[in-house]
Structure 1
């Protein structure tokens, strides 16, 4: 794309949309507008609307390890723009003695990609048993039954909502335009025109909920789990999926007690972070295959009309988190969970991203999707890949190309190692919630 003054529309003000705006602006594009249906950023429609996300480089696929580490994703978190939100607490990864083989295998395969990596030679410490884990986290007072894993000094977490807010403020200050709100900022339709003397289509912009038409030479859809509502063909290979999130409200002294603990991932139960000092919330997430919301052949986050559970997580996930707390922080194991929710993201069967032109749109429509629960850590560099895509006019990385295969009928839980267990449907969770509520009456 040689004309850097041509209008570019980005639909979605989440981590990847903002990163794209950052890199487009830095590379000299002068006419970039971000549309976001929320009234402000961070947007509650973004998967990054959260206290924190893990920032780590270990993957079973060395390709992503190198992206996270060698291609400066982690270094990007140490820049003045992103640095205030990055906390290099280290990363404890383990399984319990009762872990299924799939969880243990995943840990060892992820470790294998980094323990001999030249950057990591002195940064990885294998651990086995309670005493060795307590050398790195003396606050872990539970039994840590059969814990076996490692500590990675290079990793940690980022405060995701604050990172979105900081990027928004910066972008607004350098001339990137934002149109926000359920009326003016919500894209309801991608607009096409037929090219002269051909049957090919080209995207010429979007229509928003207020009925206005906004024209652009390039339209970039970065709506995460919601993207298939605007580009339905995406839903054949990128599925909206959610995980549970829960928090424990701590006192000031409890928050201070856990300050600085490593980000910890118990592969067969769940993961947690040091508590947020401002809210004193301690966040936990169970691990599993996740939950989908299939509606007329597509999985999408629930609309406002769907009676989705509020302040609720599935009973099976609560049991995992109670076990996790019993193993690590027994004093917290029976505390009430607050701010429970389902966090939606866009998942692909192989957990690979999609960063590509939509076919048959004359290179006028780009999709950023398939974060698959691990895309936030790439926020500092995702936009770089988009500017390269625009410059080259094609996606050379096969992993990130648009898929023509329909994977909706396949068993996604078996496709990659981090999905442990079976996928369930949101409607089943709603029924489960109603049964629980009826039982309490």
Structure 2
């Protein structure tokens, strides 16, 4: 069993790093330090630095459906509950949707319908009137819309949840070292007296030159993790999707209050507007964008900190305009504000990686491969890390470290939710400059 008095270092103050600190603290670990390169939390380097994220149990894989249902119950506890909004969830395709999008919707629906938890919670939607029964604000034509409504799901205010958990942990004795010098990790340190094949991680070196010793180091740096663990970049990939917003006025926010979280599988998704900022968030759906370096590893660009946050590709804007024309034509021509690219760590099969790094004597753990669906697990995720430390090995095969190189494979075709083709960030930036 692990020595719970020994120092534990967690790299990254995002959703998974904070969740891990929370569950370690709850299980009796007494010397936990979180390193985060941002000056405060929520960190702009985290994929969860956002207004909101979908919290839903729809998966084609019953394994993840079960985990998501457990997470939803945990979202309803006092620490997380203020940030969870069970607005219900509409999933749809348009009449012009490609077969892959239609299949994905049907496969996910069949999986949840087979679970008795969803009895009486799912309603089929066929045509405009059915959709307006649950979202009367939908005023557009909804050409060929078909789908369903799930009343168990909704969304969470992600940035606010991160901030709240950070304050809770700091008050509970978890230490935080923040900032681009003191909190940014430049190097993992290993015991030089041991051979490389059996080395042990003994701590970290930060950008201010300081060395911090640890018995266990947990890397939860998301899209940035392969910068410290290059071999991780063989089977995980830094990928980004577009995020944009429309600025509403007070009356428009009131109009859309209580709107179900809506995911139109061939166009994009949106949420009820945020009452504080009056921002209406939209995200186009697609296979995403990568930033492949000469080494062959994809990482967020390092020339700007944080990575580019001021544009989305023209094709994504067209997709969002089409979505608005179908659902809310009154805002279809509004300016898009706060446009940005949200970076995350993807795996070819969308499975997480929660495991010890090989040949490190269980001294170094990596939490990666959120694949765009990991935030919803924040309330429960850290418990899986505690279980891994207790067991000394990863018993869940799909979460093990993978000794494979998937970079040359067709990631867009590998899972049904990736619609379209992936592209490189440099090509998008070149198009923007034309």
TM-score (norm 1): 0.97
2:145 alignment partner in structure 1: 147
Corresponding residue for residue 67 of structure 1:
67
- Conservation of the 8 A alpha-carbon contact between 1:308 and 1:430: no
Give 1:310 shift: 4.2
Separation in structure 2 between the aligned mates of residue 198 and residue 234 of structure 1, nearest angstrom:
17
Unaligned runs of 5+ residues in structure 1 are: 436-441
Are residues 305 and 74 of structure 1, via their aligned partners in 2, closer, same or farther at CA, if it must alter by over 3 Å? Answer: closer
Matched, 1:183 2:181: yes
Cα distance in 2 for residues equivalent to 1:341 and 1:63: 32
Alignment partners' CA distance in 2, 1:249 and 1:21: 35
Q: Tell me, what secondary structure is at the counterpart of 1:43?
A: coil
* Counterpart position of 1:291: 289
| Cα distance change, pair 199–371 in 1 and its aligned pair in 2 (3 A) | closer
- Where do 1:148-167 residues align within 5 Å? 148-167=146-165
Paired residue total = 433
1:439 counterpart residue number: none
How far does residue 198 in structure 1 lie from its aligned partner after superposition?
A: 8.9
Change (3 A) 1:12 1:139: same
Any residues of structure 2 matched to 1:26-45 within 5 Å, and which?
26-45=26-45
Is 1:205 matched with 2:183?
Answer: no
Q: How far apart, in 2, do the equivalents of 1:138 and 1:24 lie?
A: 44
Aligned to 2:399: 400
Alpha-carbon distance in structure 2 between the residues aligned to 1:309 and 1:226: 14
Cα distance in 2 for residues equivalent to 1:386 and 1:242: 25
CA deviation profile, 1:391-420 (whole Å, cap 9, x unmatched): 000001010000000001111000001110
Q: Per-residue deviation at 1:195?
A: 5.3
1:375 corresponding residue in structure 2: 374
Q: Take 1:8 and 1:308, find their aligned partners in 2: how far apart are those partners?
A: 29
Q: Which residue of 1 aligns with 2:349?
A: 350
> After the TM superposition, which residues 176-325 of structure 1 pair with which residues of structure 2 at under 5 Å, given as runs?
176-194=174-192, 200-296=198-294, 297-305=296-304, 309-325=308-324
Q: For the structure 1 residues 128 and 37, does the alpha-carbon distance in structure 2 shift closer, same or farther, using more than 3 Å as the test? A: same
Alignment match, 1:423: 422
Deviation at 1:200, TM superposition (A): 1.5
Q: Structure 1: how far apart are the matches of 2:219 and 2:337?
A: 33
Please state how far the C-alpha of 1:277 moved relative to its aligned partner: 0.1
The one-character-per-residue Cα deviations of 1:230-276 (angstroms, maximum 9, x if unpaired) are 11110000100000000000000000000000000000000000000
CA distance in 2, matches of 1:88, 1:26: 26
Distance in 2 (alpha carbons) for counterparts of 1:400 and 1:133: 38
Question: Could you tell me the TM-score, scaled by structure 2's length?
Answer: 0.98
Provide the residue aligned with 1:438 in structure 2. Answer: none
Q: Secondary structure at the match of 1:396?
A: coil
Tell me how large the CA RMSD over aligned residues is. 1.2
Distance 1:305 1:116, change over 3 A: closer
User: Given that residues 309 and 433 in structure 1 are in contact (C-alpha distance below 8 angstroms), is that contact kept between their aligned partners in structure 2?
Assistant: no
